[in-house]
């Protein structure tokens, strides 16, 4: 689980366009407790951080996603690192190469079945 630091908490609050008092009220914590988290005197509560991040402005299809300094979190709460996201491009390159090889294959029935399977996997 990601343990946010005070800088990430402050950035989340600022992105949500909230004052520290408003952030404390939203998160259901006393304003002094919230201020201590942002000052680094108390460990940042991950639920407080996630709640603030849910209030940040994300455009269009990215609503519900949370971007931190280390990863991007899906609306379902799964973190994705830059390396994982970069590997998606490699998978698409491999799919393209396989599709090209299938097009050159002399067995059209097998080619159709594999192409359909790849399409279903790539676009669920």
pTM: 0.50
Q: What average pLDDT does the segment 44-61 reach?
A: 82
Share of the chain above pLDDT 70, in %: 87
Q: What is the pLDDT of residue 122?
A: 63
Q: What average pLDDT does the segment 89-115 reach?
A: 76
Q: How many CB atoms lie within 10 A of CB 96?
A: 12
Q: How far is it, in rounded angstroms, from Cα 20 to Cα 22? A: 5
> Is 96 within 8 Å of 35 (Cβ atoms)?
no
pLDDT in tens, 110-123: 767 777 777 776 66
């Amino acid at each position: 689980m990601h343990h946010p630091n005070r800088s990430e908490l402050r950035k989340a609050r600022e992105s949500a366009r909230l004052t520290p008092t408003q952030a404390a009220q939203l998160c259901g914590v006393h304003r002094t407790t919230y201020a201590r988290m942002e000052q680094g005197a108390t460990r940042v509560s991950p639920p407080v951080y996630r709640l603030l991040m849910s209030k940040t402005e994300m455009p269009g299809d990215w609503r519900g996603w949370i971007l931190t300094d280390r990863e991007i979190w899906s609306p379902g709460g799964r973190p994705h690192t830059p390396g994982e996201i970069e590997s998606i491009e490699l998978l698409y390159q491999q799919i393209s190469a396989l599709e090209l090889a299938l097009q050159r294959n002399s067995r059209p029935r097998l080619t159709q079945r594999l192409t359909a399977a790849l399409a279903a996997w790539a676009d669920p």
